[in-house]
Amino acid sequence: MADLHQHQQPMTRNLHESSSSPSTRQTVRFLTAATIGMSLLVLSGLTLTGTVIGLVVATPLMVLFSPVLVPAVITMCLLTAGFLFSGGCGVAAATALSWIYRYITGKHPMGADKVDYARMMISDNAKELGHYAQPQTDQTTTAPY
């Protein structure tokens, strides 16, 4: 058994040593890459062929059923778009109502500080406009006609 093991090691060592030369490694890498590349090329060709055959078989069916299929597809697309839009509006409304509820109850939701700042700025501008407009209105109401 030991003799068998000793005889196998030199053969294995020679096999590794012979395949470790740079030109052999490059050849093996090239052949591996070429094999993989050709396999992918064949696979893409088969896929293209299958697609063309499927289109050739399906074209007469599509032509026969197109007066039914085209309006059905358009109707389904419109129905789907309508349901998605109404669902989106419902989610937006629920989110807005939830934000308003949290703002009113004082839980300070995200963006509440910006709303408070905008409210303050509008209030300040309204007060300034009121102070500017007050003398104007007094002049027009006290002037004789």
Biggest distance spanned by C-alpha atoms of the chain: 132
DSSP state of 20: T
Split at pLDDT 50, 70, 90, the class of 58 is confident
Examine the pLDDT at 130 and tell me if it is beyond 90.
no
Q: pTM of this prediction?
A: 0.44
pLDDT of residue 9: 52
Termini Cα distance of the chain: 131
Residue 25 has, within 13 A of its CA and on its CB side, a CA count of 5
Examine the pLDDT at 123 and tell me if it is beyond 80.
yes
Examine the pLDDT at 78 and tell me if it is beyond 70.
yes
